[in-house]
Amino acid sequence: MVTTTSQHISQQFENELQDIRSRVLAMGGLVEQQVHNAMEALIKGDADIAREVIAYDDEVNSLEVSIDEECIQIIALRQPTAGDLRLVSGILKTITDLERIGDESVRIARMALNLSEKDRPKHNYRELQAMGNHVRGMLRDALDAFARFDVDMALRVAKEDREVDAEYEAILRQLMTYMMEDTRAVTRVIDMMWSARSLERIGDHANNICEHIIYLVEGKDVRHLSIEKAEQVIKGQLIE
Amino acid sequence: MVTTTSQHISQQFENELQDIRSRVLAMGGLVEQQVHNAMEALIKGDADIAREVIAYDDEVNSLEVSIDEECIQIIALRQPTAGDLRLVSGILKTITDLERIGDESVRIARMALNLSEKDRPKHNYRELQAMGNHVRGMLRDALDAFARFDVDMALRVAKEDREVDAEYEAILRQLMTYMMEDTRAVTRVIDMMWSARSLERIGDHANNICEHIIYLVEGKDVRHLSIEKAEQVIKGQLIE
């Protein structure tokens, strides 16, 4: 009888963890869509899409609050240990990063609103578009790595953050040149700079999510380590 | 005998919670110092102080990782419920914000390094200095509110974030004017803009910390609510 009850509870607990993972992935999907729409609003100068992104942020925020509450409830009621506890605490961190990616999408949407009223430059934000695609790819792959608890994939995504940083630096240099060539373009170029900065931050958050995946799967905290050191820590554990 | 053991455990647990709270305050003190030094480096154009801030970030990061581990250990071993669980989970969130304030200080220090090699403007970053003082005051008060679990003080600090946002907007407008008046100043002014943005973010994080305090004291999640709504939620609970 005792065994049956505890099996029952353990099955319920498994279901709860599964449910939370699905909800994190649903939140991730929504946030990815927000990044996509914010970039579309920016590139096409579409104020309607921009306003939609801003309005949808409430949805992202309530998802964070409700998953957060669910995690705290699970810790309180199920008192998970070891791997399960790492999973729940890794999820708590992951949704913070997802929520902040949502915030950055709103910032880009606000810039898109500003820019929709101004003349469009000939290059039509080509570099921002390329950086946006890159960052969205990182986010999608980070969510895939989360879905499959795939540490190798998480490490690959984390490596890409450097390329995004390099792209960002190149865009900044170019924008400063535009600004010096034509002072009438200053406000427009500043809006583009803020957008580039938001994309760079989204890359950082995707990178953080990958670190959380490594932590929850391997039990190693690789935040604040270089990718090379993170790889060594993980390989070291595999040999042990 | 059983009572003695459980009293003993409960006393130990109390001590652990007390220890974590002191460590959070120590981390807060260090982060406050980092903001102070970063601003000093910026205003005085002192590259040495700037490099010190950048070097000290490791200290902030390891404090975050170790307090984080301590919290997870406490949840796993002590299985706290209700108020204690809220305290631990509120601390987990608070140290994330403190660590990010540390990151923003490093960003300001990097700008200070850039600016230390350039001519200093006549106004000597007066507006940035005022905004920096304001934001540091918010952070100090947020840490005081944390030390005393003072919800009223937390609400007062959260209200100030709006003033900081208004200061930030005014600084941006002024910086754009400088830029349009003198294109040779573009790179310097951009560095000032990034610094202002970092200060604005530090204000946001101080605001987040206040929301965590309200959550851990009152058990109400007031994130993503306006100050007015947050006050209503808290007062509503007091009347109930």
Q: Which residue has the tokens 């959260």?
A: B158
Q: Report the range out of A17-26, A183-192, B119-128, B173-182 with the highest average pLDDT.
A: A17-26
Q: Which domains does chain A have, with CATH numbers?
A: 2-239 (1.20.58.220)
How does residue A76 score in pLDDT terms, banded at 50, 70 and 90?
confident
Flag if A65 and B176 touch (Cβ within 8 Å).
no
Rounded to 5 degrees, φ, ψ at B121 are: -70, 160
Angle ∠(A219,A222,A225) on CA atoms, nearest 5? 160
> Tell me, what's the pLDDT at A73?
81
Flag if B58 and A92 touch (Cβ within 8 Å).
no
- Alpha-carbon distance of A80 to A14, in angstroms, equals 11
Residue pair B76/B33 in contact by the 8 Å Cβ criterion: no
Q: Which helix (H) or strand (E) holds A39?
A: helix A2-44
How does residue A151 score in pLDDT terms, banded at 50, 70 and 90?
very high
Residues with Cβ < 8 Å from A151, sequence gap 6 or more?
Answer: A145, A213, A214, A217, A218, A234
Flag if B96 and A93 touch (Cβ within 8 Å).
yes
What are the structure tokens assigned to A47, written together?
């104020």
Q: Which of B75, B81, B82 sits opposite A85 (nearest CB)?
A: B75
Flag if B61 and A183 touch (Cβ within 8 Å).
no
Residue pair B24/B135 in contact by the 8 Å Cβ criterion: no
CA distance A90 to chain B (A): 11
Query: Among A144-148, A212-216, B11-15, B190-194, which stretch is predicted with the lowest mean pLDDT?
Result: B11-15
Residues A107-126 pLDDT 10s:
999 999 999 988 777 676 88
How does residue A1 score in pLDDT terms, banded at 50, 70 and 90?
very low
> Tell me, what's the pLDDT at B105?
98
Residues B115-136 pLDDT 10s:
998 877 767 688 899 999 999 9
> Tell me, what's the pLDDT at A237?
54
Average pLDDT over residues A52-78: 91
CA distance B192 to chain A (A): 13
Q: Which helix (H) or strand (E) holds B223?
A: none
Flag if B221 and A79 touch (Cβ within 8 Å).
no
> Tell me, what's the pLDDT at B4?
66
Q: Which residues of B touch A64 (CB under 8 A)?
A: 223
Residues of chain B contacting A, Cβ within 8 Å:
58, 61-62, 64-65, 68-69, 72, 75-76, 79-82, 85-86, 89, 92-93, 96, 176, 179-180, 183, 186-187, 190, 193, 197, 221, 223-224
Whether the per-residue pLDDT at A101 is higher than 70: the answer is: yes
> Tell me, what's the pLDDT at A225?
78
Residues A185-225 pLDDT 10s:
888 899 999 999 999 999 999 999 999 999 889 887 777 77
**Helices A186-218, B186-218: crossing angle, 10 deg rounding:** 50
Q: Report the range out of A152-156, A177-181, B5-9, B65-69 with the highest average pLDDT.
A: A152-156
How does residue B239 score in pLDDT terms, banded at 50, 70 and 90?
very low
Q: Which of A68, A79, A224 sits opposite B79 (nearest CB)?
A: A79
Q: Which residues of A touch B180 (CB under 8 A)?
A: 183, 186
How does residue B3 score in pLDDT terms, banded at 50, 70 and 90?
low
Flag if A68 and B221 touch (Cβ within 8 Å).
yes
- Alpha-carbon distance of B72 to A83, in angstroms, equals 12
Neighbours of A183 (CB within 10 A): 15
Neighbours of B57 (CB within 10 A): 18
**CA torsion, ordered B6, B9, B10, B13, to nearest 10 deg:** -160
Question: Mapping DSSP to helix (H, G, I), strand (E, B) and coil, where does residue A182 land?
Answer: coil
CA distance B211 to chain A (A): 13
Residue pair A178/A110 in contact by the 8 Å Cβ criterion: no
> Tell me, what's the pLDDT at B84?
87
* Higher local confidence (pLDDT), B55 or B119: B55
CA distance A57 to chain B (A): 10
